[in-house]
């Protein structure tokens, strides 16, 4: 039997494959689009039995070529660029493709765990998995919401498990290929290495300098949530995948700086000390992001807890320290 991981060469997908390998699962087929070839690096140390282009995989399932040989599909593949304006591409890649994968999984009684996104909530301040809280600000968020709604509309017909995980701000190893869409921890680390300082947005609206808040979640925890649902195929639904805590971008900057400085033998310092030393710089909030930017996110994880997931989530300080250590030794 095969485990399918779409987006297998990507950030979350490759981390998930490594975790599956650590469990002894090595009959993994990675599905992806390597038109950006640098993503191959994420697969070099992963144990897979095959690689399929995403269109080849779609063709194979449409022809029913696997003949009952798939035990679970982890559908992590998507265009995750929130600044992508080609709605036709976004809907074909994120929505139509997902509908096809879901249809195949249900027709063959295969559990499906797929990546949704906190982008479905838009500028809201309540992040509960209900339509009243949803209102995406961009076509990426809409493509994810439309598929969530497709799942909702058909869930009464499902026989096999279907789980949608609404990822909040994920950071961690294997994200370098994401370029400008990589996490702020990644960018802060690079900025500090190159210039000795990091850049944050200045105040906007009711938020002061660097005070915009997000639910930053380590990819380690995201993988653990995915594995939990793989281990419990009787549990279905759409769930937030975040820590349930909101922390400022200032916190992320301080955590990154302190982790990098600790590696060089320097003591941890406070936000005020970093600002005074010129290691944190606030830049003007971009006009292009006004009205399209989530200044606050915080996952409501009551549904996730009710589904039985009980593990604690890493704080920004814990997760970033582990991430920076991984980058140094990677």
Query: Which residue among the candidates 178, 197, 224, 292 is catalytic per the annotation?
Result: 178
Residue 178 appears among annotated catalytic residues: yes
Residue 104 appears among annotated catalytic residues: no
Q: Do the bridges between strand 162-167 and strand 237-241 make them parallel or antiparallel, or are there none, so unpaired? A: parallel
Q: Do the bridges between strand 112-117 and strand 162-167 make them parallel or antiparallel, or are there none, so unpaired? A: parallel
Say if CB 118 and CB 127 are below 8 A apart. Answer: yes
| R_g (Cα) of the chain, nearest Å | 20
Q: Which residues of 114-150 are buried (b: 16+ CB within 10 A; e: fewer)?
A: bbbbbbbbbebeebbbeeeebebbbbbbbbbbbbbee
Q: Do the bridges between strand 213-214 and strand 247-248 make them parallel or antiparallel, or are there none, so unpaired? A: antiparallel
Query: How many whole angstroms separate alpha carbon 209 and alpha carbon 288?
Result: 18
Beta bridge partners of 295: none
Which secondary-structure segment (H or E) carries 28? strand 28-32
Q: How many CB atoms lie under 10 A from the CB of residue 65?
A: 11
Angle at CA of residue 235, ends 234 and 238, nearest 5°:
150
Which secondary-structure segment (H or E) carries 104? helix 97-107
Query: Which residue among the candidates 121, 140, 167, 171 is catalytic per the annotation?
Result: 140
Angle at CA of residue 192, ends 295 and 41, nearest 5°:
85
Beta bridge partners of 112: 73, 162
- Report the catalytic residues: 140, 178
């Amino acid at each position: 039997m095969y485990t399918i991981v779409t987006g297998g060469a990507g950030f979350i997908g490759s981390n998930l494959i490594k975790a599956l390998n650590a469990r002894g699962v090595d009959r993994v087929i990675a599905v992806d689009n390597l038109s950006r070839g640098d993503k191959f690096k994420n697969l070099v140390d992963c144990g897979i039995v095959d690689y399929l282009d995403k269109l080849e995989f779609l063709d194979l399932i449409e022809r029913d070529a696997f003949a009952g040989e798939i035990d679970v599909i982890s559908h992590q593949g998507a265009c995750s660029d929130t600044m992508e304006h080609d709605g036709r591409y976004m809907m074909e890649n994120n929505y139509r493709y997902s509908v096809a994968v879901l249809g195949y999984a249900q027709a063959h009684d295969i559990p499906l765990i797929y990546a949704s996104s906190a982008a479905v909530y838009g500028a809201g301040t309540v992040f509960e998995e209900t339509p009243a809280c949803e209102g995406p600000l961009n076509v990426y968020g809409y493509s994810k919401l439309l598929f969530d709604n497709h799942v909702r509309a058909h869930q009464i017909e499902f026989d096999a498990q279907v789980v949608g995980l609404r990822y909040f701000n994920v950071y961690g190893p294997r994200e370098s290929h994401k370029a400008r869409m990589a996490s702020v921890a990644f960018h802060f680390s690079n900025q500090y290495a190159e210039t000795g300082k990091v850049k944050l947005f200045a105040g906007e609206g009711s938020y002061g300098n660097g005070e915009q808040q997000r639910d930053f979640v380590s990819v380690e925890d995201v993988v653990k949530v995915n594995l939990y649902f793989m281990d419990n195929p009787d549990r279905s639904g759409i769930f937030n995948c975040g820590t349930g805590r909101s922390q400022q971008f200032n916190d992320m900057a301080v955590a990154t700086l302190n982790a990098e400085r600790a590696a060089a033998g320097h003591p941890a310092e406070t936000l005020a000390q970093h600002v005074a030393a010129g290691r944190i710089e606030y830049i003007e909030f971009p006009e292009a992001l006004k009205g399209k930017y989530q200044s606050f996110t915080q996952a409501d994880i009551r549904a996730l807890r009710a589904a039985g997931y009980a593990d604690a989530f890493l704080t920004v300080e814990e997760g970033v320290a582990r991430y920076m250590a991984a980058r140094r030794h990677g």
